Chains A and B, each alone.
Chain A
């Protein structure tokens, strides 16, 4: 079931990116958190995020996913991050060094 949700979330994110032609996705990570139907999502773009404020793009993706996943009470996204490649690099460092 988790695999189905992961594919559903990934496909929805690809659809969302198509609505924003300036955005070129570099990677999409959907990771189970260990809780039922609960995921952490990290979207990295090689282009298109740099001139789009992070809070705004995350809110935009949040509402898109809510609509796409049917305002589902089943799928929960605990962490939703949209990062440029540079931000992602810093984030990766901060993951190994909890918060640098």
Chain B
């Protein structure tokens, strides 16, 4: 491994986009199976991945710097170039707040902690056809 690849992840943006599509199909399958905890876990990962793609786009680089291999959605949004757009739109701001408040990688260690009502709130915050956070990201990434 050379010095450059020590500092960036091996996968390029195109691969991250493929991974996003795959994670989204997995999310849909988990949702269809009624596994609400797993679906929310995946939903947060989708936001994380979308923000990492946005960071690459914002920096105009093909590989994500390893310093961004983090799970802090607020810091990822801050670095993504999309912060002002999200914070200046009340629906996007609210929907970002829902996922930033309710999702954590700590969910990995939890059992079946999420009920359908909680899942529905997260699902709507991300995928609502007009105000969903990931709906919006898909138009700009």
Are A78 and B94 CB-contacts (below 8 A) given A97-B110, A99-B107?
A: no
In the bound complex, residues from chain B placing their C-beta under 8 Å from that of A79 are 97, 100-101
Would you give the shortest CB distance from A72 to chain B, in whole angstroms? 10
Q: Please provide the chain B residues from 86 to 115 with a CB less than 8 Å away from any CB of chain A in the complex.
A: 87, 90, 93-94, 96-97, 100-104, 106-107, 110, 113-114
Interface residues on A, range: 20 to 34
Contact A76 B40 (CB under 8 A): no
In the bound complex, residues from chain B placing their C-beta under 8 Å from that of A98 are 102-104, 106-107, 110, 113
In the bound complex, residues from chain B placing their C-beta under 8 Å from that of A81 are 97, 101
Number of interface residues, chain B, beta carbon within 8 A = 24
In the bound complex, residues from chain A placing their C-beta under 8 Å from that of B93 are 62, 77-78, 80
User: Interface majority SS on A: helix, strand, loop or mixed?
Assistant: mixed
In the bound complex, residues from chain B placing their C-beta under 8 Å from that of A58 are 90, 94
Contact B90 A59 (CB under 8 A): yes
Does B25 have its Cβ within 8 Å of any Cβ on chain A?
no
Contact A99 B113 (CB under 8 A): yes
In the bound complex, residues from chain B placing their C-beta under 8 Å from that of A78 are 74, 77, 87, 93, 96-97, 100
Q: How distant is the Cα of A73 from the Cα of B88 in the complex, in angstroms?
A: 9
In the bound complex, residues from chain B placing their C-beta under 8 Å from that of A34 are 74-75
Contact B100 A94 (CB under 8 A): no
Given A77-B87, A81-B101, A99-B40, 12 other A-B residues pairs in contact with their CB atoms under 8 A: A34-B74, A34-B75, A35-B78, A38-B74, A38-B78, A62-B94, A79-B97, A97-B113, A98-B104, A98-B113, A99-B104, A99-B113
Contacts from A to B (Cβ < 8 Å): 33-35, 38, 55, 58-59, 62-63, 73, 76-81, 94, 97-100
Closest 4 CB pairs of A and B: A79-B97, A98-B104, A99-B102, A62-B90
Contacts from B to A (Cβ < 8 Å): 40, 74-75, 77-78, 83-84, 87, 90, 93-94, 96-97, 100-104, 106-107, 110, 113-114, 118
18 A-B pairs within 8 Å (CB atoms) are namely A35-B74, A35-B78, A59-B90, A63-B90, A73-B84, A76-B87, A77-B87, A78-B87, A78-B93, A78-B96, A78-B100, A80-B97, A97-B110, A97-B113, A98-B104, A98-B113, A99-B107, A99-B118
